[in-house]
């Protein structure tokens, strides 16, 4: 009987086939019904979940479990259902599923830049961990580093129907002292100073910089010069502040900051200046790419690392161990940062609550061959 009903439904769904009465005549509104049916078929999937169930030889509930990613389906049965879906070209109605369960299972990610190592590796970790939790991500880059740009990104996220947002905001806004996020949004902010208002996840930038500078001082260097990142960067700001505090806490002279822009070229320019600084025996670069530029400049100036000058970087990029010499640097655990962002925002979704505060992910000093004991006093 079920097959007969399915056959009747398919007959009705055939485009251009009008309904008839028991007498074989067309009803008065047949043309209207036919037009509505044809129009609907251009916008919805003609293949139904019933069709998939019949072809796969399972119940519609089983098909629904497969499309929703339920683990309560045997592997062989899942394969049958997927094969039937592929053969028929069936695509689940994700909007209907979202309405039914009250969740889109999608996390929005807002970021100012995709060019930095930190942002890319954090984004990768977020995407992978979200996928493990059966969530997708939607990425919205912000082109204008302004409050209006942030508001526009959140508006766009609302249109795309996401359950929550992770905002990677590693730089200050041009037109506001602090970022303001629309009220009621479930959000985690990465690399920001907004911990009193939002939930923030970040590497422990200050402790990492302190470890780097203290390592150089413990080797006997009188002081440590610093090649800093751009002033608008939260990470650069924290690393520079920790560098200064560590020198001051040890009663050492604080040299003037030499500012870079995270690039190897800016590190090269800084290295040319530092090579001519009398008494410069130790340098802390705010990232590994600038440290690479410093290495090149020192080599061209006839300065040997670490025999003449010791050098420490920050980030522990994959190439750091292949520098000449291999670079001592501060390792950031981007995987842990991304995982904590996802876990935090999923907790907000589950509990429908938000809780301001900062979660710091520890950093680690990785010792290689670019540092050596400094000159004796």
Mean pLDDT per segment of 10 residues, for the chain of length 377 residues?
36 35 40 37 62 92 78 86 88 56 79 83 94 91 81 80 87 67 84 81 96 98 97 93 98 98 97 96 98 98 97 96 97 96 94 88 98 82
Which tokens sit at 356? 């301001």
Shared-domain flag, residues 209 and 255: yes
Question: Does 93 map to a domain?
Answer: yes
Which residue has tokens 């961990």?
129
Alpha helices (runs of H) in the chain, residue ranges in sequence order: 2-13, 30-41, 49-56, 60-67, 75-88, 94-101, 117-132, 147-159, 205-218, 234-249, 264-275, 288-300, 334-351
Shared-domain flag, residues 211 and 326: yes
The tally of CA atoms less than 13 A away on the side-chain side of residue 213 is 29
User: Who's near 111: CB < 8 A, 6+ residues apart?
Assistant: 119, 123, 139, 140, 141, 142, 167, 168, 169
H or E segment at 139? strand 136-141
Question: How many domains, the chain?
Answer: 3
Which tokens sit at 362? 């520890």
**Domain range for 14:** 2-99
Shared-domain flag, residues 209 and 313: yes
The pLDDT value recorded for residue 75 is 87
The pLDDT value recorded for residue 354 is 82
How many other CB atoms are found less than 10 A from the CB of residue 177? Answer: 8
- Chain centroid, CA 235 distance in Å: 16
Q: Report d(CA 364, CA 315) in Å as an integer.
A: 10
Shared-domain flag, residues 217 and 187: no
The pLDDT value recorded for residue 183 is 76
Domain of residue 144, CATH code: 3.40.50.2300
Look up residue 348 and give its DSSP letter.
H
Q: Report d(CA 111, CA 119) in Å as an integer.
A: 8
Look up residue 328 and give its DSSP letter.
B
The pLDDT value recorded for residue 92 is 66
How many other CB atoms are found less than 10 A from the CB of residue 315? Answer: 28
pTM of the model: 0.73
Longest dimension (CA), the chain: 111
Shared-domain flag, residues 235 and 139: no
Shared-domain flag, residues 42 and 184: no
Look at residue 190 and give its three-state secondary structure: strand
């Amino acid at each position: 009987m079920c097959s007969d009903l399915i056959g009747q439904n398919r007959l009705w769904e055939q485009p251009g086939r009008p309904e008839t009465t028991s007498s074989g005549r067309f009803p008065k509104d047949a043309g209207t019904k036919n037009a509505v049916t044809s129009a609907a078929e251009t916008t919805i999937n003609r293949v139904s979940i019933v069709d998939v169930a019949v072809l796969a030889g399972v119940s519609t509930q089983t098909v629904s479990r497969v499309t929703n990613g339920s683990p309560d389906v045997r592997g062989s049965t899942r394969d049958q259902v997927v094969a039937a879906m592929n053969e028929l070209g069936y695509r689940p109605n994700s909007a209907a599923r979202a309405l039914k369960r009250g969740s889109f299972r999608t996390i929005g990610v807002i970021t100012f830049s995709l060019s930095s190592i930190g942002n890319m590796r954090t984004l990768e970790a977020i995407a992978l961990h979200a996928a493990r939790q059966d969530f997708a991500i939607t990425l919205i880059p912000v082109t204008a580093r302004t409050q209006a740009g942030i508001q526009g990104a959140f508006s766009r996220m609302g249109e795309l129907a996401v359950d929550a947002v992770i905002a990677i905001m590693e730089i200050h806004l041009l037109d506001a002292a602090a970022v303001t996020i629309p009220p009621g949004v479930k959000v985690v902010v990465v690399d920001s100073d907004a911990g009193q208002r939002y939930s923030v996840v970040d590497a422990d930038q200050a402790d990492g910089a302190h470890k780097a500078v203290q390592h150089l001082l413990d080797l006997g260097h009188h002081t440590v010069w610093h090649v800093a990142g751009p002033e608008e960067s939260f990470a650069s700001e924290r690393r520079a502040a920790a560098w200064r505090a560590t020198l001051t806490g040890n009663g050492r002279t604080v040299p003037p900051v030499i500012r870079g822009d995270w690039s190897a070229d800016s590190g090269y320019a800084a290295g040319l200046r530092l090579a001519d600084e009398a008494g410069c025996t130790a340098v802390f670069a705010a990232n590994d790419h600038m440290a690479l530029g410093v290495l090149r400049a020192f080599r061209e100036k006839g300065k040997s690392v670490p025999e003449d000058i010791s050098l420490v970087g920050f980030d522990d990029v994959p190439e750091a161990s292949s520098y000449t010499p291999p670079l001592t640097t501060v390792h950031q655990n981007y995987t842990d940062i991304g995982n904590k962002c996802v876990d935090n925002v999923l907790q907000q979704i589950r509990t429908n609550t938000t809780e301001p505060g900062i979660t710091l992910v520890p950093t680690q000093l990785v010792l290689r061959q670019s540092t050596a004991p400094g000159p004796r006093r």
